[in-house]
Chain A
C-alpha cells in the first residue's frame, strides 16, 4: 500500500539549532502533505498544509518563520524547525491524502519524529 517514509524517527538537538524532518511518499505522488504536532496521549494538531510547487498554508498560531515547510517535489516534503527551543520538543507527524477509491482512499501517516531540544 501507499506509504509515507518519515525521517529521522528521533532527534536530539541543542537549543538554537535547526532540525529538518523529511517525509517521502513511496509508490505514489503526494501533491499535498499535512504536518501535525502531537503531545503525549493527546490529539494531533495540524500545523500546516504543504502543496507541491506552492507556499504552505499555516494554521492559526503557527509561526511560519519558525516552522519552514518545503514541498519541492511530488515525493518529498520537509519541515524545518528553526532556532529550536525546548518548548518545540514534541512528536511531529506528516500525512498525505490518498486519492482514488476503495482501500486507497483516505490518508497515510508517517511514523513520526520525536524531537527533543536540550
Chain B
C-alpha cells in the first residue's frame, strides 16, 4: 500500500533551535518525495523535492530508503517558519497523483 506518515501533528520549538519534521513512507518501487509548506491563509507551495537535493530556506531532506524516511530538517528555526508542512509521495501508476501525509504544524516561538 502507498502511504505517507507524519507522526507529529504539532511540533513546537523556540527560535534558533534545530527542527526535524518526520516523514515515513510506504511504496513499492522507487519513491519520489516532496515537502510542501502551507503558510497561514496561503496556498500550498513546494518546499523541496528529493530528486533535486536542494536546500530551500535552510531546510534539507534526505531520502533514506533503508528506513523509508524523508525527514525535513533545519538547524536553526525562525519564527517565519511557522506553518503546516506536508510530506508527499508521487504515485507513478495512478496519473501521478500525490499522496499526502497528515501534516505537521510547526510553531516557532520567540
A interface, CB within 8 angstroms of B: 32, 34, 41-46, 49, 51, 57, 93, 95, 97, 105-107, 109-112
Contacts and interface: CB of A to CB of B under 8 A. Distances in A.
B42 to A, nearest CB: 8
22 contacts: A32-B95, A34-B97, A41-B105, A42-B102, A43-B86, A43-B100, A43-B101, A43-B103, A46-B97, A49-B94, A49-B95, A49-B97, A51-B95, A57-B94, A95-B44, A97-B96, A106-B34, A106-B46, A106-B49, A107-B98, A109-B44, A111-B43
Chain A, interface SS category: strand
B26 interface: no
B101 to A, nearest CB: 6
Closest 9 CB pairs of A and B: A109-B44, A111-B43, A43-B102, A44-B100, A43-B100, A49-B95, A109-B43, A97-B96, A106-B46
A49 B101 CA distance: 18
